[in-house]
Every structure is written in C-alpha cells, then in structure tokens.
Structure 1
C-alpha cells in the first residue's frame, strides 16, 4: 500500500471538505482565549464559556486582567477546570498587555516568542502553537491529538514520538506557509471528528485506500464474519 505524503493528505482532505475558515473567532484575542479554554474539553464547552464572557463584556485583555478571579471562573465554568483556567487567562492577559498586545508580540522572532509563551503559566506546546498560528500569524504546525491519531494510523510515525519531533516531521515535509498550516490543521480536525474517531468509521473514509490501519481492521472484520466452510 502506497503511503500518502503529508501534502497529498492535505490535498485529499481539502478536496473532500473544502476551506474550513479557522480559527472560529472574531478577534485575535478571542483566538487566544479559545486556545486556553479548549484544553481538555470539547469546543462546544468553550463556545459556551466565550459566549458568557461576551455577555459580561469580558472578551478583552484589560477586562480579564483586572477581573475578580472567582467571578471570571464562574463565567467560564463550562470549560472545565474553571478556576485553573481563570488563572491562566489572567496571567496571559497581563503578559499580553505588558508586551504591547498583538502589535508588540508579532514583531518578535517566532522562536523567541514561542519560548516566551511556553514559559507562561498554563501554556503548553499545543496552546502556544495554536496562539502563534491563528492569533499571531506565525507559520508553525500545530500538533494535537487528532493529528497524532490520524498520522499514526497512516503509519507516518510511532505514537510514542514526542510533540516537537512530530512537529519537525511535518515542517520538514511541507512548504512553510501560514495559510497551508492553518488550513491543514483545521482539515485534520474536521476529518478526525467525522471519520478518524477514537473508534474509527473506516468504511467511508476518503483516506481508506491509503490507510494500513483501516486495511488491517477491515481484514479482521471480514475474517470474523467469514463463514466456516471447513
């Protein structure tokens, strides 16, 4: 079975799903809020929390930085771990203001900015890279659980490979392009939600003919239901 290259996977997914217009947010700072709140929860829960922030006129770095911590936590309760995430939001908002907000941050070199984001309370690699890619227009490839699941099943790398190594794998094989990185990540998310789930729906998957994992699963299913003719 011929393995698709990352760019071929992108092209096939784009042909099926089209442009995703990600990240779903009205402002860059709303992207940042979403990237922090989406940790270990569903996007639906994040949308509820963001709607609550908007209803309280708190979708703003100044408002969050100066808010009452417990009040902020209650507003974002739907996102889970809400007290912890309220602290994350306040800490990031203070950093954002002190850094000159988006205008100040985008002037910094990408490698330096990534290190600064990773040094912040509550910001890990996926959150930092989501902020870089979607809020600050830096061409960095985001690795999330969906990306890892899909490409492990396509047998591009082992599931034990570390975040930075997986990121390096993609960035060595794709042209450095902000629109490409944004669109590819969004397409992977869409595909994983539709077909490449924890329990995959392989039958109608547009990558079925190039997925060794699906081929093995299909073979096992056919063997299970094969009539005994012996």
Structure 2
C-alpha cells in the first residue's frame, strides 16, 4: 500500500516537472564537492564557488587539500558559510587522500552502507551530505532526505511530525525498489515540489499537483 502511494506520487511529480537530470557536475569529484558546498544555500551560489575553483585549476583532491584555508574560503565564499564549509571540505579531502589514495572512483567498490559509515565519521559531514555523495556521485541507492521531504510527507500524513532523518529514509527505502535512478529522480522532484508549491509558510495547496491527496496543515513544518 505504501509502495503504491509513493510510486503514485512519483509519477504525478514526474508528469508535472519532467526529469530533472540531477546532479550537475563534470566529474565525480566535482559532484562530491558540490554536495558539501550546497548545504544551506542554492545551487547557483555553489556553481559560482566551483567555477572559482576551476578558474584556479584546483578542482582535484590534492590541489584543494594543499590550498591554504584562507584562499579556499575566498574561493568558496559565494556558497555561504565559507569558513565552516572550508573546514568540512578539508576534512573530506584528508579522508579521501589518506584512506583512499585521493581516488574517488575507488569508492565505487565499497558497499553503500559501509561507505555511509565512513563518510559520517568525517567531521562536518552529515547524513544528507553523505547520502548525496553516495547517490549522486557514486550512483549507489541511498535515499536523500531534506527539509522538503520531511515537510511534504508529514503534511500528507505518511510520517509523524516527530520522525527523524533515519525514519524518513527508512520509509522510502523500505517501500521503493532499491534503484539509484529512482531515488535520484524522486528526490529531485521532491525538491521542485517543495520550492514551487509546498512552501513552509504559505503552501500553494490549491495549485499543487498533490493537492487532491489527504493533507494536514495544522502544524508548521
């Protein structure tokens, strides 16, 4: 039943928005960097930061790791929270270089669950970022949960408003086929729905493609 309902929503959103072709990036490493920089900002700002890095010919693990932190913060300034993100990026690079020979392609051979544990052990790498790297960078099935996901599926009564990240992730992974392409597209479509209709303060329920589904707006999400 849950699987049918989630797949129905997926098809509705796909019909509404079309395929999103996430995640933008010319290489796996660029996608991983983008996943770290995109927290608490929009993608246009991340693109500016990545373009700054490219302009300095520094888009490689070794070059970025050797980059003085003061310079790195300036390069990624457009992404916001640049001091914090520089430290997170440096921690990720240190892990990648010391544990995997700076070879991001080598991560492909690691089981998704084990890789997630490794990523979460890196200071500053949270669950959403780890899952984004696993899914979008390495094409492994690990459903990404964000604020839009929680808001939409709490409002539509799939989950309780007290549900945490892991519980929401388990809802999707337990009900949907274990397919990275499905997880990828579904999360991208959820983001579009959240941005355009299921807004935090003034949701556009009457115009929403899911407006016909049962919902509750009694609480603020």
Fold shared, TM-score > 0.5 on shorter chain: yes
Structure 1 residue 204 displacement after superposition: 1.4
Following the alignment from structure 2 to structure 1, what is the Cα–Cα distance between the partners of residues 215 and 107?
43
Following the alignment from structure 2 to structure 1, what is the Cα–Cα distance between the partners of residues 105 and 50?
23
Structure 2: which 5+ runs fail to align?
none
Matches within 5 A, 1:101-116: 101-116=103-118
Does 2:145 align with 1:143? yes
Following the alignment from structure 1 to structure 2, what is the Cα–Cα distance between the partners of residues 114 and 212?
33
Following the alignment from structure 1 to structure 2, what is the Cα–Cα distance between the partners of residues 51 and 103?
22
Structure 1 residue 164 displacement after superposition: 0.7
Partner of 2:178: 176
Worse overlay, 20-29 or 49-58? 49-58
Does 2:30 align with 1:30? yes
Which structure has the bigger radius of gyration? 1
Structure 1 residue 186 displacement after superposition: 0.6
Structure 1 residue 203 displacement after superposition: 2.1
Task: With the length of structure 2 as denominator, give the TM-score of the two structures.
Answer: 0.91
Partner of 1:221: none
Partner of 2:14: 14
1:200-226 CA-partner distances (Å, limit 9, x unpaired): 112211110014237x89xxxxxxxxx
Secondary structure of 1:141's aligned partner: coil
Structure 1 residue 29 displacement after superposition: 1.0
1:8-64 CA-partner distances (Å, limit 9, x unpaired): 110110111111000111111111111111112222221221121112222221211
Matches within 5 A, 1:1-230: 5-98=5-98, 99-100=100-101, 101-198=103-200, 199-213=202-216
Following the alignment from structure 1 to structure 2, what is the Cα–Cα distance between the partners of residues 130 and 167?
12
Structure 1: which 5+ runs fail to align?
218-230
Following the alignment from structure 1 to structure 2, what is the Cα–Cα distance between the partners of residues 159 and 75?
38
1:132-183 CA-partner distances (Å, limit 9, x unpaired): 0000111011001111111111111112111111111111110100110000
Following the alignment from structure 1 to structure 2, what is the Cα–Cα distance between the partners of residues 15 and 80?
34
> Is the contact made by 2:139 and 2:181 (CA closer than 8 Å) also made in structure 1?
no
1:55-109 CA-partner distances (Å, limit 9, x unpaired): 2222221211111111001111121221221121122122223314222211111
Task: With the length of structure 1 as denominator, give the TM-score of the two structures.
Answer: 0.88
Following the alignment from structure 1 to structure 2, what is the Cα–Cα distance between the partners of residues 53 and 177?
33
What is the aligned residue count?
214
